[in-house]
Structure 1
Amino acid sequence: MKDALGSQVLGGTKWKRFALVMVPTVGIAGAMTVAMANGVLASSFAVSGQRFEVSADQLDGQTFAQSGDVVVDANGKPHAVAVAGIKSATITNMCQSVVVPIPVLGNLSIILRAGGGGTPVQATDLVLDADQVNADATFTGVTIGASAADIASKTGIQGFEKHTGNPDGSTTPFAAGDFGQVVDHAVLTDVKQTAYSTTAGTMALKGLSISANLSAQGCY
């Protein structure tokens, strides 16, 4: 069997509790995610450096691409991440949370939930900068060690680029020699992730709920 890049692969590969070795990640930036006209992503924004949590019962996605990267936040601090692009995804029972320190009051938790009640979140062109992912996963059509530039060209995932290293959040296309890996189809269950940023081309969040409290508790 060959994958979309024409490479010979073994289907049905299954890895459990994986982290950043092969991490087609899942994450959502909530209200910061923008639906883009004509499939063109908006201008890059500086990364705050605040990590957020994302969990989901399941992600079923088509075409995952990944490479290593370093994100430099607005204060100039670098963060090692796995930058991942997902062409299309269906996400069940998604939760996103961030805990923000508030002077005197303590820690403010902002929690977003969507994709329950039998109507999953639908997303296209997800691009994620994650530093930790845990899940049970089954991958089909796996290619590891391909050129990240070649993967970006052939998968057509909008926004799958590397950061320039500038605090303004700007990105640039991968170079031909940049390491990459790609999966044709993946099913991830019991997903738990921390990330620094996420963008998407389009995202439909049925049953969206956003809440804020001072419990300092996140999605997990």
Structure 2
Amino acid sequence: MTKGGEVCGRAGTDWRLFALLGPLSVLLSGGVAWATTASGAVPVAFAVSGSSFTVTADHLDGHNAVQYISTDVELDGTRHPVAVAAISRARLKNMCQFAVTRTPVGPVALVVRGGGAEPVQAEDLVIDLDRITGDMRFEQARMGQDASTLDGQAGAQGLQGVFGQRVGRLVVKDMRLRAWSLTAGVLKLKQATLAISLEESPCG
């Protein structure tokens, strides 16, 4: 469930455990959200909106992933500490994404669903998130690496001295995450749906 854009009422792994946060000073390292060009190879910076959004999936299977701490920045200079997760290739089953906007008629959510019959396919996926829950499995994990040496997917790379980690394979069951941005070189959703909902947590 969500309330005011925050994930709550569900047990799981806090993103801070996933990131194995080092000293809080790493949050001062700066940074902006990452996007990818059409080739999916070169990152460009952009300002994030003032609203986070939620992504859920029954199952995520990702390969060649790196993760490090950074911050996203709004146009007015407001900063949001995030864990940047860059995954070379990912498959998501029963994915649902929603963003809630306050309107004169009340909260309205934009909802995108996909991955029911066939998994959603993502290449060079980069997610700037501040919370994730679910059952996780790491394979070929290397934690504590300097983020500037990660050679991240889609060009995503942290600053020198910032905590980073790399995994050969990341599996998350019953995934639920809150993000400030999500970009991909390629994102394929077969039989996808896009709808407006008056529910604040339409993905359940």
- TM above 0.5, yes or no, is yes
- The alignment status of 1:147 with 2:146, answered yes or no, reads yes
Q: Which residue of 1 aligns with 2:164?
A: 180
Q: Which residue of 2 aligns with 1:164?
A: none
**Deviating runs (4+, > 6 A) in structure 1?**
none
Q: Deviations over 1:5-58 (max 9, x none)?
A: xxxxxxxxxxx93222225xxxxxxxxxx8843333464321002010110000
- Looking at secondary structure, tell me which structure has more strand per residue: 2
Q: Which residue of 2 aligns with 1:201?
A: 185
Q: Which residue of 2 aligns with 1:92?
A: 93
User: What pairs with 1:1-220 in structure 2 (closer than 5 Å)?
Assistant: 17-20=12-15, 21-23=17-19, 36-41=37-42, 43-103=44-104, 105-117=105-117, 119-152=118-151, 156-161=152-157, 174-220=158-204
Q: Which runs of 5+ in 1 are unaligned?
A: 1-15, 24-33, 162-173
Report the CA distance shift for 1:218/1:51 in structure 2 as closer, same or farther (over 3 A). Answer: farther
TM-score (norm 2): 0.80
Displacement of 1:70: 1.6
Instruction: Give me the CA root mean square deviation.
Output: 1.9
- Secondary structure of the structure 2 residue equivalent to 1:201: strand
Q: Which residue of 1 aligns with 2:26?
A: none
Q: Deviations over 1:135-190 (max 9, x none)?
A: 101111111101112112xxx511414xxxxxxxxxxxx33322101111121100
Instruction: Tell me if the contact between 2:36 and 2:43 (Cα under 8 Å) persists in the aligned partners.
Output: no
Instruction: Tell me if the contact between 2:36 and 2:44 (Cα under 8 Å) persists in the aligned partners.
Output: no
TM-score (norm 1): 0.75
Report the CA distance shift for 1:142/1:190 in structure 2 as closer, same or farther (over 3 A). Answer: same
- Secondary structure of the structure 1 residue equivalent to 2:141: strand
- Secondary structure of the structure 2 residue equivalent to 1:216: coil
Q: Which runs of 5+ in 2 are unaligned?
A: 1-10, 20-34
What is the CA–CA distance in structure 2 between the aligned matches of 1:197 and 1:134, rounded to whole Å? 17
Displacement of 1:216: 2.9
What is the CA–CA distance in structure 1 between the aligned matches of 2:43 and 2:84, rounded to whole Å? 18
Q: Give identity over the alignment, percent.
A: 37
Displacement of 1:217: 3.1
Q: Deviations over 1:61-87 (max 9, x none)?
A: 101111111212122211111111111
RCO higher in structure (CA 8 A, sep ≥6): 1
What is the CA–CA distance in structure 2 between the aligned matches of 1:71 and 1:188, rounded to whole Å? 24
Read off the aligned partner of 1:52 and give its amino acid letter. F
Number of positions where the alignment pairs a residue of Structure 1 with one of Structure 2? 178
Read off the aligned partner of 1:114 and give its amino acid letter. G
- Secondary structure of the structure 1 residue equivalent to 2:46: coil
